Copies of this chain bind each other. A is one copy, B any other.
Amino acid sequence: MFDRLETPSILVDMRKVRVNLKRMADDVLHSGCTLRPHVKTHKIPELARLAIAYGACGITVAKVSEAEVMADGGIRDIFIAYPLVGDFRIRRAGELSQRIRLILAVDSLAGAQAISAHAIRTGTVFEVRLEVDTGLKRTGISLEHAPGLAMSISMLPGLKLTGIFTFRGPILDGLPTADNEAAGRQEGRLLAGLAARLRADGLEILDVSGGSSPTGRHVAAVEGMTEVRPGTYIFNDFMQVIEKACDIEDCAASVLVTVVSTPESGYAVIDGGSKTFATDFPVNAPPYFFPGYAVSPDHPGLVLSRVNEEHGILTSASGNTGLAVGQRIRLIPTHICTTVNLHNDIWFIEDGMLRKVRVEARGMLV
């Protein structure tokens, strides 16, 4: 079936996609939480619609420009889970909020005041959630300062503070493998505890949102959580395998490549490097030990161990790759989200048919 496909190409097994979507939805909905998957992994409206068909309440994005593409693709309930800063973004969010349910994120008073000012000018009311840091140390106000900031935001005109959200706990500090259940429970308990505190302060906190692909099920099981936002689970990748969130058979997306050179038996070069495969993780270094940028599901021990821009160096645990020039193989990327982000189109395989699909929100950086 793939003989005539040009390489490198991303192949997506839609049967596995459906299994992944259903499994997460079943687990999360069973816990009484809503599921609002992050579309960062695929950036394709059709897959966002499919996730909703499998029970998601809406979607999560990181950028207002992604939200616009998804709204154009028929999605009616979008959370931009990222502090919305910059007048150019607030203006676009304001326009978008006229046609869909759009939830914005804030994590600072300055950010909230700028959104409020725009709301006043335009006679809009924005639904906002406060981002809280439960240990990842990137965006999000600290648990300590969250109550004060939430109270200040709740008093700003034009804003309706409806929820709080986070993304993961302090799980990356030197642990070789994560205990996803313990991490998810910790993340959930910290956030649900804060929600209870804010309600005691008189704030009406409706949405308490957390989670990720490895921890989402466990976050959802925590009393007081209302929503989880996993992303990678739709495709899965070798990072999820290493993080014990799935098995290699659950990886729905692979990259079909061609061997272009075999100068020595010890390595083979394929027609894709760092412009084809993601590189945004450390290889052979803590906290997780990823052996390379991709692995072969069909040739055990074969690893994409080095990349230049258009060169990928495959090595084998056996010392001999056994590959020949012109041979085609599939590789499971270590990180699928940023791999898809490098491709203009990807290929869906469904019912024995191949179909090319545009990665419509790729490159939407604003």
Contacts and interface: CB of A to CB of B under 8 A. Distances in A.
Nearest to A261: B139
Contact of A325 (B85, B259, B307, B324): B85
Interface in A286-326: 306-311, 313, 324-326
A313 B140 CA distance: 13
Contacts of A139: 260-261, 263, 269, 311
A260 B82 contact: yes
Interface string A252-281: 000000111111000101011111101110
Interface residues of A, number: 63
Contact of A261 (B7, B107, B326): B107
Contacts of A8: 365-366
A361 to B, nearest CB: 11
What secondary structure prevails in chain A residues at the interface with B?
A: loop
A275 B366 CA distance: 11
Contact of A263 (B4, B7, B140, B309): B140
A6 B86 CA distance: 8
Contacts of A142: 263
Nearest to A359: B363
A121 interface: no
A183 interface: no
Contact of A326 (B62, B110, B137, B259): B110
Most chain B beta-carbon contacts within 10 A, residue among A133, A343, A366: A366
Copies per complex of this chain: 2
A171 interface: no
B137 A267 contact: yes
Contacts of A141: 263
A108 interface: yes
Contacts of A324: 110
A88 B4 contact: yes
Contacts of A110: 324-326
A326 B106 CA distance: 12
A338 interface: yes
A284 to B, nearest CB: 10
Given A341-B342, A363-B344, A269 B108 contact: no
A224 interface: no
A40 interface: yes
Given A263-B107, A342-B363, A343-B363, A85 B271 contact: yes
Contacts of A308: 138, 280
Interface of A: 4, 6-8, 40, 62-63, 82-83, 85-86, 88-89, 107-108, 110-111, 114, 133, 137-142, 258-263, 267, 269, 271-276, 278-280, 282, 285, 306-311, 313, 324-326, 337-338, 341-344, 363, 365-366
5 contacts: A7-B86, A85-B261, A275-B341, A276-B365, A344-B363
Name the 7 nearest CB pairs between A and B, nearest first. A274-B280, A62-B310, A344-B363, A85-B260, A279-B280, A139-B261, A110-B325
